[in-house]
Amino acid sequence: MIITDPAAFRARFDEALRTGPARVDRIFGADDREPGQVAVIAADRTVFWFLYLPETGRAYVFAVQEPGREPEMPTGAGCTEDGFRLAGAHPHLVLELLALTHRDLTIARGQPGAFIGVGMP
């Protein structure tokens, strides 16, 4: 996925992050250097996977799966080698989701059925 309009991409992601079903695929702890990983599903069934990197305090969308397509790493405007960099209130919202569970592969918002067929990229 090539991002040409970072504001439009951010708006799509923001809506999914605020309201969509969310699944914590990998948590992180205070002594854990591994990133926390979360998946959220937008109203149009696009799946966004993102990471929170505790060593830097930054968050990135590292994969996007449009309906009927394979997951793709976002590239283009607003992206680094880690994916689409989230700024502003995003890390706070990411941490809120991660705080909802202390177990991997836990549905943090919504119903488990929303994730049928949604694997990890």
pLDDT confidence of residue 89: 64
Q: At 34, is the secondary structure helix, strand, or coil?
A: coil
CB 22 within 8 Å of CB 38: yes
Give per-residue pLDDT as tens, 77-118.
989 888 999 876 676 777 777 777 777 788 988 999 999 988
The beta-strand segments (E) located in 1-121 are: 2-3, 22-26, 36-41, 47-53, 58-65, 75-76, 79-80, 83-86, 106-109
pLDDT confidence of residue 46: 95
| Residue 24 to residues 39, 41, 50, 94, 102, Cα–Cα distance (Å) | 6, 12, 10, 10, 9
- pLDDT surpasses 60 at 41: yes
- pLDDT surpasses 60 at 48: yes
